Amino acid sequence: MIRVLVLSLICVVAQAIHADDVLADLSDSLPQGRMPAPNRVVSGGIDSTHMELLRRAGVEHIVSLRPAEETPGFDEAHAAAQHGLVYHSIPIRGAESLTVDNVRKLDRILHEIGDASALLHCSSGNRVGALIALREAWLYGRPVEHAIAVGREWGLTKLEPTVRELLEN
């Protein structure tokens, strides 16, 4: 009995390691791709050519921070559904959309997703990193520098001064 349990545990661990390897490879194939946390890939803008790649890599959820006007002619929600991916949208138009309400929306989505694999994206990853940094500080009480560092891991770049100002005021 113990032998069966040990073998089962080894199989589960091997599958998890393989899944992380596949997602890491995926992040290399996406614009500005990175894998800041287990089962989480962040990228810049995607299009219909990426959907099959995401599905084959085992991505189950897409969290888009791009407003529809950024991708005219591309219905990302429809494309995701056609490939069996669950689509979530929080349109972040820029600094004016960096609100507690939007941070809470992202937090709820990430909690709903749980350990399932997900791609979070905007045009570059910058807005993803901004919301993650704000989440770290506003919802989890992390110090500003810690929140900024985590945000950078997730893609925070040009919005850093705005995020820093929001966190320090």
pLDDT per position as a tens digit, 5-31: 444 444 444 444 444 566 767 867 898
Query: Residue 46: CA atoms inside 13 Å, Cβ hemisphere, count?
Result: 28
Residue 66 in 3-state DSSP?
coil
126-134 and 100-113 helices, crossing angle to 10°: 90
- From first to last of the 169 residues of the chain, give the pLDDT tens digit: 566 444 444 444 444 444 456 676 786 789 889 999 999 999 999 999 999 999 999 999 999 999 999 988 899 999 999 999 999 999 999 999 999 999 999 999 999 999 999 999 999 999 999 999 999 999 999 999 999 999 999 999 999 999 999 999 8
Contacts of 138 (CB under 8 A, 6+ apart): 100, 103, 167
Q: Which of 19, 33, 166, 40 is nearest to 95 (CA)?
A: 166
pTM of the model: 0.86
Residue-number span of the structural domain to which 28 is assigned:
2-168
The owner of tokens 């996406």 is 30
Beta strands in the chain (DSSP E): 34-37, 40-43, 61-64, 86-89, 118-121
Q: CATH number, domain at 66?
A: 3.90.190.10
160-168 and 126-134 helices, crossing angle to 10°: 10
How many domains, in total, are found in the chain?
Answer: 1
The owner of tokens 């929306």 is 105
